[in-house]
Structure 1
């Protein structure tokens, strides 16, 4: 497995030369891509060289320990460091999802359960919002359709890392991509008069946000419909055709927005959503393997396809993919989501490492 590092040395040298050339930085997007790859390779090569150094030092210390017992303690210390360095290198060699560095769009949809499902969708959005605040990310609601009791039939939010150049593993998509799927809730609904526990579900869809240059959209391929907004809002709601629905005719992908006051603002927001959805669709078609996570996300919001259960009577959260279970559901819904996310990241990493070794 570690032999692959030697092949990265020439690529690293080549990138170093390209990044030193002034013409590279004339194209900001290219320079950013090359810098990201250069940083990834630098980390791998640095870890590889540290692993080699520790191995050589351990071999030397063991040889000297036969002549001088004082080196025995040093050999023991180095022997403990080698597997740590080896594990770090193994993790760095796992191929990165090309979208891990991106910001993300999170869409939460109510499913089976009516109003209770819509209220649970609002709980999930609040959980992601508070978790994002803990990570120093910003959250912007792009589109929302509320239910009668203040939940969400559907809501789409953009989650962004503040500042440029977020590293893989710390950017929103690299962390939140495992949230895609059906989330099941077990609790007594506010509409339940006899105190019985009901089960309902909400679906979460997670896609990386596309930069405008990444998706080419021909205006002739778009059908734009305007209509009157519905639901709570300002004075313009229900009086002007400010809501916008955009259909990408070749693919049938639709995006809509009615949250903003003006038709132009709603069109801009809808285009952001459409662009991200088109990028996700293109990536699925181009690379079936890389889209495995997306394909596993919610198709129908069916309780039987759940990835996670939120049990209120027991204050328990269970992730059915990783086996993670904890009895601090109230804290998780308040944004303490990191241990759950870590269990997903570790499970995915372990599966990829096993595949590499095979």
Structure 2
């Protein structure tokens, strides 16, 4: 155990020093994918290393104050405040050292699909997309539509987007939004309702890390690639060639398609991007399915059929059923003010992981 009192600290310090050395090597930056991975890990470790350094300084100050308190009353007066600060930093370091999801520092791919409720569900899917887009734009993140199936009234049967941060930071799209996967239920009077009755419908959200090409090994022999003519809006010429691409991953049965880009090559690249994310998400689901009860009891669910949240328009209320979160500011949430519920979900997940570590 190091002088900081945290057994996990020394390996992280060594890793951080190695990352600093690599980042100073010009050859590393010639490999964009490698440089991005190193940058993500460096960003992940930076707050931990800073907190450890702060803890060491405070621990030394507390020790010195204790030794001198008997001789000098001024040190005795300082001691309670120093000990209080040390306790707070110790708790912060303990929380930072809890193992995290390695994908937390990734960009993300999000798929939103209409469910029960017909056209009203498709309109709600559009509301969800707007909510996540507003939230992302507020963080300075870029939202790019990868594939979409619109409806006549302006909703979405299905829409897939990529959300990307301009630079690696302590909070990245996947880490922020990973708990949004599941069934979202809405209660409101649909625009198609002539009697003024409140209806209940739902849309499903799938959140996946946007992984680098070299992070997922794909065998071309495992892929069936079909091309077809794109349909729907897309500008002049979109429907005149077989530019849309559908890729089937034969071992898993996962199917992805993309028709938003102008060229077949661009659509193929985007479809492969979506496939890699789907495969990572499927692997994580399988790992979680066979994990311990403690892992399964965490906030994040692997069951995308689970109803996770209700949006009640008549009461202007949002309720997250996993953690008992409720707020009467639905209008603000749908306008992108998601941070309070995201913070509550992240805190509940952290507490579950802390408890799991204590029980291990």
Q: TM-score, normalised by structure 1?
A: 0.87
Do structure 1's residue 178 and structure 2's residue 182 form an aligned pair? no
Query: 1:180·1:294 contact (CA, 8 Å) conserved in 2?
Result: no
Shift of residue 9, structure 1, vs aligned partner: 4.6
- Partners of 1:252 and 1:110 lie apart in 2 by 21
Which residue number corresponds to residue 8 of structure 2? 4
Please give the residue correspondences for 1:42-121 in structure 2 after superposition, counting only pairs within 5 Å.
Answer: 43-121=47-125
Shift of residue 347, structure 1, vs aligned partner: 0.8
Which residue number corresponds to residue 296 of structure 1? 301
In structure 2, the CA distance between the partners of 1:289 and 1:15, relative to structure 1 (3 Å rule), is farther
Query: 1:203·1:298 contact (CA, 8 Å) conserved in 2?
Result: no
Shift of residue 80, structure 1, vs aligned partner: 2.0
Query: 2:299·2:322 contact (CA, 8 Å) conserved in 1?
Result: no
Which residue number corresponds to residue 267 of structure 1? 268
- Partners of 1:212 and 1:7 lie apart in 2 by 28
Structure 2 residues not aligned, in runs of 5+ = none
Shift of residue 19, structure 1, vs aligned partner: 6.2
- Partners of 2:53 and 2:341 lie apart in 1 by 33
- Partners of 2:104 and 2:176 lie apart in 1 by 8
Which residue number corresponds to residue 357 of structure 1? 358
Q: Considering only aligned residues, what root-mean-square deviation do their CA atoms show, in Å?
A: 2.9
Query: 2:261·2:267 contact (CA, 8 Å) conserved in 1?
Result: yes
Query: Secondary structure in 1 aligned to 2:104?
Result: coil
Please give the residue correspondences for 1:31-46 in structure 2 after superposition, counting only pairs within 5 Å.
Answer: 32-34=36-38, 36-37=40-41, 40-41=44-45, 43-46=47-50
Do structure 1's residue 166 and structure 2's residue 169 form an aligned pair? yes
**Equivalent in 134, 137, 152 of residue 133 of structure 1:** 137
Shift of residue 203, structure 1, vs aligned partner: 0.5
- Partners of 1:262 and 1:8 lie apart in 2 by 45
In structure 2, the CA distance between the partners of 1:39 and 1:186, relative to structure 1 (3 Å rule), is closer
**Equivalent in 100, 106, 127 of residue 123 of structure 1:** 127
Please give the residue correspondences for 1:215-230 in structure 2 after superposition, counting only pairs within 5 Å.
Answer: 215-230=216-231
